């Protein structure tokens, strides 16, 4: 048995709210699907998009206790993914 203290820290309420807010653009998935032609190759990315958002949110939530910097990296990548999906379906 280890005598080292447990380095986990509890997840603060503001981080919970930030993770949930970073996952919220997923509710606009029906609009993304409606804007994408059904036979387009982008549809493959749209099918995996909800799985990625949920996995990233769970990983960000679980990693905060030991490595909060990993949580910030995951959240930044999640926000960039939201932007990339919108640009993929609606190019400028």
Q: Over range 18-45, report the average pLDDT.
A: 92
Residue 57 confidence (pLDDT) above 70: yes
The answer to whether the beta carbons of residues 78 and 57 sit under 8 Å apart is yes
Which band of pLDDT confidence, cut at 50, 70 and 90, is reported for residue 39?
confident
Q: How high is the pLDDT of residue 40?
A: 83
pLDDT(61) > 80: yes
Asked if residue 28 has pLDDT above 60, the reply is yes
């Amino acid at each position: 048995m280890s005598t080292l203290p447990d380095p986990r820290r509890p997840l603060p309420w503001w981080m919970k709210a930030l993770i949930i807010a970073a996952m919220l653009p997923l509710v606009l998935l029906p609009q993304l699907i409606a804007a994408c032609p059904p036979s387009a190759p982008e549809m493959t990315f749209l099918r995996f998009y909800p799985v990625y958002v949920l996995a990233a949110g769970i990983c960000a939530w679980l990693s905060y206790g030991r490595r909060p910097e990993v949580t910030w990296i995951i959240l930044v990548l999640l926000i960039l993914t939201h932007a990339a999906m919108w640009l993929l379906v609606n190019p400028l």
